[in-house]
Structure 1
C-alpha cells in the first residue's frame, strides 16, 4: 500500500513533458507551498543544469513557490481574460504552451514584472 501511494504521488507531482516551471509550480500549489519545494523538484527532474534557479527567482522576489505568482510570473493578457483592473477572471487554466527540454524559463502564458507593467499600465 505505501509503495502504491508513493508511486501515485510521484506520478501526480512529476512535471509533464515540455511543461514550463511556472505552469508546473502553479499546478503543484494545489498541494501547498513549502519554500521552493516545487521549483526544486522541477529543476531536479526537468532542468538539472539550472543550478541557480531558486536563487534567480528569489532575486526577483519569488522567495517561495507561491510568491512566484505575486512577484515573478504574471498571467499574460494574451491568454487570460482579465477585468478592468487587470485581475485574472476565474476561468479554466489553459494548457502549458511548452518549453524546450532542460529549460528553466516560463512559457508564453506568463509574463515577467516589466512586461506585466507594460500590459497593465494602471
Structure 2
C-alpha cells in the first residue's frame, strides 16, 4: 500500500467516524440532538446542528430555519439561550459540582421520525411559540 492510499483510507475512516458521532440517535428530537451536539462540539454561531438534524431526520421540514429565525434564534446555542428550556429540575452532581439532569432522566423522550417538535423534556420560553 502506498502512502497516498494509506492517507486516503485514513481520511475515509475519519469521515465515517465524524458522520457517526454527529448523527441523531433513534427517535432523538431536535432539541436533545442540538443540545448534545453543542455540548460535545460547540456552537459555530450558525444553525449547523439544526440543519444537520433537518437533513437527516426531517427532510420535509423546509420551514425549520425560517421558524427559528422568526423567533430570534440565529444559531444552535440560541435555541437554549432564547427559545427552549428543559422541563425537569436539574440537580448538582456531588462529585463534579456541575448541574445535570436527575438520574431518572435518561435522555430524549423520543419523537417520530420526520418531526422537528421537541420531546416532552423541552418547553418554550416566554417569547417562543410552542407551535412546531
Deviates more, 1:92-101 or 1:49-58: 92-101
Unmatched tracts of structure 1, length 5 or more: 84-88, 117-122
Unmatched tracts of structure 2, length 5 or more: 1-9, 93-97
In structure 2, what is the Cα distance between the partners aligned to 1:70 and 1:103?
22
What's the CA shift for 1:82?
6.4
Judging by fraction of residues, say which structure has more strand.
2
* 1:23-64 C-alpha deviation (Å, 9 max, x unpaired): 000000121212000000000000011101011011112110
Structure 1 residue corresponding to 2:114, chosen from 98, 102, 109: 102
- TM (norm. structure 1) is 0.81
What's the CA shift for 1:115?
9.5
Structure 2 residue corresponding to 1:75, chosen from 78, 82, 86: 86
Whether the 8 Å CA contact 2:85–2:125 is kept in 1: the answer is: yes
RMSD across aligned C-alpha pairs, in angstroms?
Answer: 2.2
Q: How many residues align?
A: 109
Whether the 8 Å CA contact 1:74–1:110 is kept in 2: the answer is: yes
Structure number with greater Rg is 2
Q: 1:15 to 1:32 in 2, by over 3 A?
A: same
Structure 1 residue corresponding to 2:23, chosen from 14, 23, 43: 14
1:48 pairs with 2:59: yes
In structure 1, what is the Cα distance between the partners aligned to 2:17 and 2:91?
35
Whether the 8 Å CA contact 1:61–1:68 is kept in 2: the answer is: no
Show the counterpart of 2:41.
31
Structure 1 runs (4+) deviating above 4 angstroms are none
